[in-house]
Structure 1
Amino acid sequence: MTEGNFVDYVKMHVSSGKGGQGSAHLHREKYVEKGGPDGGDGGRGGHVIVRGKDNLWTLLHLKYQRHIKAGHGEHGSSGRSTGAEGEDVYIDVPLGTVVRDTETQEVIFEITENDEEKILLEGGMGGRGNWHFKSSTNQTPRYAQPGIPAQEKDITLELKILADVGLVGFPNAGKSTLLSVVTAAKPKIADYEFTTLKPNLGIVKYRNFQTFVIADIPGIIEGAAEGRGLGHRFLRHIERNSTLLFLIPADSKDIKEQYDILLNELKKYNPELLDKERLVAITKSDMLDEELKAEMKKELDKQFKGIPYLFISSVAQQGLAELKDKLWKMLQVEH
């Protein structure tokens, strides 16, 4: 998927259908001078329903649908005939989509399973026909109920990517390069910050036809939790990943300091992110000779106590098999 086709944020106005009006018809036949009430009920208005689809990866198809309306219920008619129901409308979304009330920013619900359906707005009930109101004291009621009005709401759809592994790192840490090498994804790669402006997804083929999904997300910078740089738009995508892969270049001035800054931004945004499995990959390590690598290992062993790390080079294809093995093992652990 090209970067421009990835849409993860859409605002729209939705309306359910109004209920049809009940009929106040009185029965009339050639030889029945005063027939009783036989007005039918109005039909229910259409619902607005959000439905999950696992073959969708983006909200692009909804980008230009600013208004969505369900059908209105039809009026009741004679012979106690109920009006037809208004047509329901379905909004198909990728798994991991959160639906918010635009005005209050409150989360209404989220869709995480294929073919999961949730009613966003219920259609108005149809009004009851006059035959419901017949009584011993009122044999010919000449009134019926109107249908219940439609509901309207401004909503925001936000996509939080459902991937197994989320790549975390500063801009230009080599995330897009790694993704292009270990998966079939073709992200934009260049030697400047914020090459990746939208998340890229790639499927990693593992042994015995097993696969897992990696998401390359826009680079984090200090202050991202407060919304600097690409800020919250980036951070919400790693909430769904079960494992976080931190990428830090081998030529960084202080590898542990970079890791701590990244971790701190995640903590400020959502402390629960720190509960996820973590793995640190020292990228661009083809520029290190064995002696320098050995020295760095001594230092990193002290600094990264209990946190697994490894050296990789996407360009030179070094350490990638070990990286896949490690990630696969981490993904098999039940959280």
Structure 2
Amino acid sequence: MADSNFIDYVKFCSRSGAGGSGSVHFRREKHVPKGGPDGGDGGRGGHIILRGSSQLWTLLHLKYKKHVIAEDGKGGEGGRRKGRDGEDVILEVPLGTVAKDAETQEIRFEITEDGQEVILTSGGRGGLGNDHFKTATNQAPHYAQPGEPGIEEWIILELKLLADVGLVGFPNAGKSTLLSSISAAKPEIGDYPFTTLVPNLGVIPYRDGKSFVMADIPGIIEGAAEGRGLGLRFLRHIERNSILLFMIPADAESIKEQYKILLGELQKYNPELLDKKRLLAITKSDMLDEELMEQMKADIPQELPTIFISSVSQYNLEKLKDLLWHAITND
């Protein structure tokens, strides 16, 4: 996992620029030996800004940025000339990125739209020049404001995948195989638990040029909500999926029991996940005949729309796409 290109957590020091100082200056020209104050204002310090990009799927490009520092604003000048603002630093992030205060764990905001820009750390305001401080009794103020200091803080960025359908199941339930069968995604596939160590996204083509996004998320094991196995690292990705497709293999000892455990882990992590639409796919069904499928229906939770599928033989995959599309669009 250390060598993976999928990075969904980064922590760095964010330091905005300080504002420039206001200027103490008096107008001096050949025929105006005692002109009034004309000191300009200081420039604003640079902001640290997050910008959403639909072209990014990971925080990998920020993994080694331990300090992000914006430019200070420049001081004001005579002739009421304002100092130049410090240059902003813009960090592009994938959609679904959450910015948190590293000390308090408070969520600041979330980036959910392409091109959305939010100031993460504000630059200091520039100070006012002495032109602002003249009065009837003090027409030659020798004072200007200093600029505000910049802000230095530790920030955590976490990525929660934005997808229409999230695949939920134990390791080796056939999630990666399904994703590779119905999309152009090529996740690693193997006949052993925890082949998928990081989430994979696939765009699923549908009829009439339509499509939807499916996320293959690492398999749940009992205790995931307490941090066992891959734990909380993957559970947060499920929060953003509008539909949860539970996948249980046909050779499971008890479909009802596996479903109950999967549901329990989601509930322990975040009870709101149970409000999402849920569907059930019985995978590896190419080993079953019609009679066996009928017998197995007694072990399937009755409240769930259920479908038998096989990614290897392509059995019922088109019907599955229909089922998912109708659930996504509320048809």
Residue of structure 1 in register with 2:96 after alignment: 96
The alignment yields a C-alpha RMSD, in angstroms, of 1.3
Residue of structure 2 in register with 1:252 after alignment: 252
Paired residue for 1:323, among 312, 320, 324? 320
Equivalent residue runs for 1:103-122 within 5 Å = 103-122=103-122
Partners of 1:125 and 1:304 in 2: CA distance: 60
Equivalenced residue count is: 329
Instruction: Give the C-alpha shift of residue 141 in structure 1.
Output: 1.4
Partners of 2:33 and 2:282 in 1: CA distance: 93
Partners of 1:105 and 1:252 in 2: CA distance: 40
Residue of structure 1 in register with 2:26 after alignment: 26
**SS at structure 2 position matched to 1:237:** helix
Instruction: Give the C-alpha shift of residue 290 in structure 1.
Output: 3.0
Equivalent residue runs for 1:205-220 within 5 Å = 205-220=205-220
Give the letter for the 2:145 counterpart: Q
Partners of 1:182 and 1:101 in 2: CA distance: 39
Residue of structure 2 in register with 1:66 after alignment: 66
Residue of structure 2 in register with 1:179 after alignment: 179
Partners of 1:142 and 1:278 in 2: CA distance: 70
- Stretch moving more, 140-149 or 61-70: 61-70
Residue of structure 2 in register with 1:169 after alignment: 169
Instruction: Give the C-alpha shift of residue 64 in structure 1.
Output: 1.6
Give the letter for the 2:277 counterpart: E
**SS at structure 1 position matched to 2:257:** helix
Q: Deviations over 1:198-236 (max 9, x none)?
A: 100001111111101110001111001111111111110
- Stretch moving more, 236-245 or 313-322: 313-322
Partners of 1:133 and 1:242 in 2: CA distance: 57
Give the letter for the 1:103 counterpart: E
Instruction: Give the C-alpha shift of residue 181 in structure 1.
Output: 0.5
Instruction: Give the C-alpha shift of residue 139 in structure 1.
Output: 2.2
**SS at structure 2 position matched to 1:272:** helix
Residue of structure 1 in register with 2:137 after alignment: 137
Give the letter for the 1:93 counterpart: V
Partners of 2:302 and 2:327 in 1: CA distance: 17
Q: Deviations over 1:56-75 (max 9, x none)?
A: 21111211222112211100
Instruction: Give the C-alpha shift of residue 6 in structure 1.
Output: 1.6
Residue of structure 2 in register with 1:288 after alignment: 288
**SS at structure 2 position matched to 1:137:** coil
TM-score normalised over the length of structure 2: 0.96
Give the letter for the 1:73 counterpart: G
Partners of 2:80 and 2:211 in 1: CA distance: 58
**SS at structure 2 position matched to 1:4:** coil
Residue of structure 1 in register with 2:12 after alignment: 12
Q: Which runs of 5+ in 1 are unaligned?
A: none
**SS at structure 2 position matched to 1:196:** coil
Instruction: Give the C-alpha shift of residue 291 in structure 1.
Output: 2.7
**SS at structure 2 position matched to 1:268:** helix
Partners of 2:193 and 2:206 in 1: CA distance: 30
Give the letter for the 1:134 counterpart: K
- Stretch moving more, 61-70 or 250-259: 61-70
Q: What percent identity do the matched residue pairs reach?
A: 66
Give the letter for the 2:321 counterpart: K
Instruction: Give the C-alpha shift of residue 309 in structure 1.
Output: 0.9
Give the letter for the 1:310 counterpart: I
Give the letter for the 2:147 counterpart: G
- Displaced runs of 4 or more, over 3 A: none
Partners of 1:96 and 1:152 in 2: CA distance: 24
Partners of 1:98 and 1:233 in 2: CA distance: 14
Correspondence 1:229 to 2:229: yes
Correspondence 1:314 to 2:311: yes
Partners of 1:288 and 1:305 in 2: CA distance: 20
Partners of 1:133 and 1:206 in 2: CA distance: 67
**SS at structure 1 position matched to 2:44:** coil
Equivalent residue runs for 1:29-40 within 5 Å = 29-40=29-40
Partners of 1:89 and 1:289 in 2: CA distance: 61
Q: Which runs of 5+ in 2 are unaligned?
A: none
Instruction: Give the C-alpha shift of residue 287 in structure 1.
Output: 1.6
Residue of structure 1 in register with 2:158 after alignment: 158
Partners of 2:280 and 2:139 in 1: CA distance: 81
Residue of structure 1 in register with 2:82 after alignment: 82
Correspondence 1:274 to 2:271: no
Give the letter for the 2:63 counterpart: K
Instruction: Give the C-alpha shift of residue 125 in structure 1.
Output: 0.9
Partners of 1:134 and 1:243 in 2: CA distance: 64
Partners of 1:215 and 1:241 in 2: CA distance: 8
Partners of 1:74 and 1:325 in 2: CA distance: 60
Give the letter for the 1:66 counterpart: K
